[in-house]
Amino acid sequence: MARVGRLAGAILLETASRYFLVGDLKEPCDFGHAGFQNPGAIEPLVRPYIELTPLRPITLATPYLTLRAEGETLAELLARRFLIERNGSVSERLWRLVCRGGADHDDLPPHGPAVVDANWLGEIPPGVWQIVRDAVLRCS
């Protein structure tokens, strides 16, 4: 079972004892402090995800998602599901939709579920997800 959390605004995927960073960082990240070897330059518009090398056991911060899908293909899927194409960053609106049903920040309870079963995210047809993406990302 894969686990999907966040690291400095990007997505952190743990799958089959491997770690992937999906998307661009939104804040500075001390990879060593986070438990990873520094991956060097991150270019999400060139490659939307990169593999990270852990330096010690990693604990994902909550909330995090769980999915049955595994491996590098899951990193590809997460990039297609969550990244904004023009800049390679993770859409907070889409992340919030999956984690908490899409409520606005002001409507969120102080503590949502720590672990979210998101198997449906890997199973939803791409065309259906595109409709959801378009609706969520539409400027109001």
Q: What would the pLDDT profile of 82-110 be if each residue is shown by its tens digit?
A: 999 899 999 999 999 998 875 555 444 55
Give the percent of the chain with pLDDT over 70: 91
CA distances to 2, 4, 15 from 71, rounded to whole Å, are 8, 12, 6
Query: Which pLDDT score is estimated for 113?
Result: 73
Q: Are 118 and 63 in contact (CB under 8 A)?
A: no
Identify the three-state secondary structure at position 139: coil
Query: Which pLDDT score is estimated for 112?
Result: 64
Q: Which of 16-30, 36-50, 102-116 has the lowest mean pLDDT?
A: 102-116
What is the token pair recorded at 90?
């993770």
Q: Is residue 89 classed exposed, middle or buried when 0-12, 13-18 and 19+ CB atoms within 10 A define those classes? A: middle
The pTM assigned to this predicted structure is 0.89
Is beta strand 10-15 parallel, antiparallel or unpaired with respect to 18-22? antiparallel
CA distance 87 to 69: 26
Query: Which pLDDT score is estimated for 62?
Result: 85
pLDDT over threshold 70, residue 27: yes
Query: Which pLDDT score is estimated for 111?
Result: 58
